[in-house]
Amino acid sequence: MKRIYLICNFFSGKASIGGHLSKIINRFTAEGYEVTVHPTQHAGDGSERARYACENGFDMIVCCGGDGTLNEVIQGCMMSAGVLPIGYIPSGSTNDFARSLSIPKEPMDAVESILSGTPSLCDIGQFNNQFFTYIAAFGAFTEVSYQTAQPVKNVLGHTAYLLSGMSSLARIKTSRMRIEYEDKILEDDFLYGMVTNTSSVAKLLSLPKYQKDDGLFEVTLIRKPRNLVDLQHIITGLTNFRLGAEREYFEYFRASELSVTCLEEEPVPWTVDGEFGGQQVVNTIRNHRKALPFILPQTPLPETEA
């Protein structure tokens, strides 16, 4: 009998996954799986349990939670000698990575996609000594995702990020950063920067060149607007993904590895998959191509609005 290790975060998103748990277990059991369930108990628990599953004879890990829970699971998998196929049942506030992989947002649809899907190797990012699935970012609004209280995220969803960001506009400042990749060096004052491995960010920005297994990040850097006209150009560029046409405000490129050095007196904070990523002066970001197998739908379902 095949064995599933099911890692659940009952507090992610709108905390509704608990109401589906019995049906999830029953469906996997009906298909011949022995299911071991572990509700996460504290920060980092998902990482510890994923590593345990990889090293103790299980056949599959199923992660049930949001982007932060999935981040913990991939930490454990990347630190293990062997890796297992990962099924994902998204239940968070944004679920950007799941959307990029066409994983259904409804729990039981996600279960069916795991049962009928096939493992597919996906890129995993590394930010200094930690791994990430879809984003590492610095600058304006990066503190929003990990400072916004979970109950607020649960109620407002995507709107929480927007509202919290708007409240901090008055104190936004740029940071002097040096970005090195391949044989190029960029040095400027940036309002925001993100290194992504996803097709969208918080449902607000589409990244059409994204591929899950090409070994390349999409890197977007935004300069601070000097006035309202500049701000409008930035918003238009983001909305229509005209980053290349708006070179005065944006830097956009693709790379497998880069170094980002903060030239300010105090290092700027980073967010990694929506959680606090630290404040280092020099940050090395690498793409591990086709590092982990995710179980993906054979036929992607059309995306619907949340």
How far is it, in rounded angstroms, from Cα 227 to Cα 155? 33
| pTM confidence score | 0.83
CATH pick for 132-288 out of 2.60.120.1090, 1.10.10.10, 2.60.200.40, 3.40.50.300 = 2.60.200.40
**CATH superfamily membership of 2-123+290-296:** Probable inorganic polyphosphate/atp-NAD kinase; domain 1 (3.40.50.10330)
What type of residue sits at position 205? Answer: L
DSSP class per residue in 40-83: --STTHHHHHHHHHHTTT-SEEEEEE-HHHHHHHHHHHHTSSS-
The whole-number pLDDT of residue 131 equals 97
* The residue count for the chain: 306
The whole-number pLDDT of residue 251 equals 87
262 within 8 A of 281, measured Cβ to Cβ: yes
Query: How does pLDDT run across 200-238, given as a tens digit for each residue?
Result: 676 556 666 778 899 999 998 988 777 667 666 666 666
Low-confidence ranges of the chain (pLDDT < 50): 144-148, 152-170, 301-306
Main-chain dihedrals φ then ψ at residue 173, nearest 5 degrees: -140, 160
The whole-number pLDDT of residue 105 equals 87
Question: Can you give 149-208 as a three-state secondary structure string?
Answer: CHHHHHHHCHHHHHHHHHHCHHHCCCEEEEEEECCEEEEEEEEEEEEECCCEECCCEECC
The whole-number pLDDT of residue 232 equals 67
The whole-number pLDDT of residue 247 equals 64
165 within 8 A of 140, measured Cβ to Cβ: yes
